[in-house]
Amino acid sequence: MTTTSEELEAIVASAAAAAPIWAGSSAADRAAWLRAAADALDAAADELVPIADRETRLGETRLRGEVGRTSGQLRLFAAVVEEGSYLELTVDDADATATPPRPELRRLLVPVGPVAVFSASNFPFAFSVAGGDTASALAAGSPVIVKAHSGHPELSRRTAAIVAAALEAAGAPAGSLGLVEGREAGNALVQHPVIQAAGFTGSLSGGRALYDLATRRPDPIPFYGELGSVNPVVITAAAAGSRGEELAQGLVGSFTLGVGQFCTKPGVVFVPAGAGFESLVGALVPDTTGGALLTDRITAAFPSGIDALAADPSVEVLARGTVAGDGAQPIVLTTDAAAVAERPEVLLEECFGPVSLLVRYSSPEELHAALRTVPGSLSATLHSDPGDDVAETLALLEARAGRVLFAGWPTGVAVTWSQQHGGPWPATTSLHTSVGASAIRRFLRPVAYQSAPQALLPAVLRDDALATLPHRRNGVLQAPVRTR
């Protein structure tokens, strides 16, 4: 099904009509609308999960958990709206004695307006119609139009219908959540003058194409794309020696989780030469089982990605897992740090699926030379022991990722106030996060009011409201006075 141009115009017009109502909504109303959407998703899980499993083959257990994550995101943003610090309320009082004299200034963040959201294939709930981009945009006070992913169209339609109905039943305006289908409709959506920002999770090529459309508009808009990530891991010799088996088990479990279709999969792992870690991993991989990939396009691309890596003269196949039918077979490849430093454009290309590349290094200098070629990633992981000199290694990892782990593995992204899910290009097109409370910042813009009468200020910037909200006055943070 493809959305026609006439249908697109009607959907956009409805979102435009809803935008001022969302922007003017109270924190209590907006939070209630988000919670109503969350409750509706949870109530519809028995209907939605079988549809999702039929279209994505991700399995009931995984999908039910993802429904819970999705409704949890909506509830998190309801709490963010009620707490109020996301508004960044700031006041500088007038001061006639300052040089030069200072007028009164009051500043806050306001919603940008209708937002386009492009669904991802690998999270049919949490990064799709009612996922994090949608939740954070609605929380900011912006209606959302979602471009459905072709990998789960029936699920997208049904989810959109359920959530839109729940929003309206809770008092939100018609047009709060719309849905379009088809590549042409998606391209037209991101170029439509009513749309003021876009969120995207997907391939580097697809995201770059949309990014270019968004920035080449007569009125360019921000495009928040999560595109590609190899998520480097560094294991020190001490760590490999003290807990090599544990780390090998964690790595194999992480890169095969979800048939390797997580954007935080550890794709490149730097391991000390001669420490025996490769043998530990190689012994575990044959017991792993692959499976079907999400779409025909991903299925076709996986062997091509493996072939491109294996064609490099430095690369060897360490071990393969098993697979039934035409699914993806888990595989671990090996190379060395010198080869990575020489040919990063080949060896550090993201390959979506159950594959990881082990990179041997013989010295800190060799490791650091290779790390300097690693592209921007969503995450970076450092497994070291007390006493290891890892200052330079850590600095290199911090420069290349938005989240740095010191325990565990990156395939697990907590939806919290402090989470950062975004990193330097090509991981994302911006420095903002797409997961966690501060994801709301993407869909807000600042406005300052100078010498404004109280009656003409936005309600939250007036003195009586400021007393109950987190804000900064004359550079000093002010705690709110809560009333019961």
Q: Which domains are assigned to the chain?
A: 5-227+430-445 (3.40.605.10), 233-405 (3.40.309.10)
Burial of 441 (0-12, 13-18, 19+ CB in 10 A): middle
Q: How far is CA 392 from CA 51, 113, 367, 371, in A?
A: 48, 43, 10, 10
Token output for 288: 């792993």
Give the pLDDT score at 146.
Answer: 98
384's CB contacts (< 8 A; 6+ apart) are: 234, 236, 238, 239, 390, 393, 406
Give the pLDDT score at 382.
Answer: 98
Active-site option among 55, 66, 263, 350: 263
Active-site option among 66, 226, 278, 366: 226
Q: Which residue has the tokens 């790595």?
A: 251
pLDDT tens per residue across all 484 residues of the chain: 899 999 999 999 999 999 999 999 999 999 999 999 999 999 999 999 999 999 999 999 999 999 999 999 999 999 999 999 999 999 999 999 999 999 999 999 999 999 999 999 999 999 999 999 999 999 999 999 999 999 999 999 999 999 999 999 999 999 999 999 999 999 999 999 999 999 999 999 999 999 999 999 999 999 999 999 999 999 999 999 999 999 999 999 999 999 999 999 999 999 999 999 999 999 999 999 999 998 888 988 999 999 999 999 999 999 999 987 778 999 999 999 999 999 999 999 999 999 999 999 999 999 999 999 999 999 999 999 999 999 999 999 999 999 999 999 999 899 999 999 999 999 999 989 999 999 999 999 999 999 999 999 999 999 999 999 999 999 999 988 765 5
The alpha-helical segments, DSSP class H, found in 116-152 are 132-140
Tell me whether residue 349 is one of the annotated catalytic residues. Answer: no
For 348-374, how does the pLDDT look when each residue is reduced to its tens digit (9 = 90+)?
A: 999 999 999 999 999 999 999 999 999
Token output for 323: 């697979």
What's the rounded Cα separation, in Å, for the pair 206 and 264? 18
CB-based contact 230:375 (threshold 8 Å): yes
Give the pLDDT score at 296.
Answer: 87
Give the pLDDT score at 483.
Answer: 59
Give the pLDDT score at 484.
Answer: 54
For 291-311, how does the pLDDT look when each residue is reduced to its tens digit (9 = 90+)?
A: 999 888 898 899 999 999 999
Tell me whether residue 263 is one of the annotated catalytic residues. Answer: yes
CA angle 52, 56, 61 (to 5 degrees): 65
pTM assigned to the model: 0.95
What's the rounded Cα separation, in Å, for the pair 229 and 262? 10
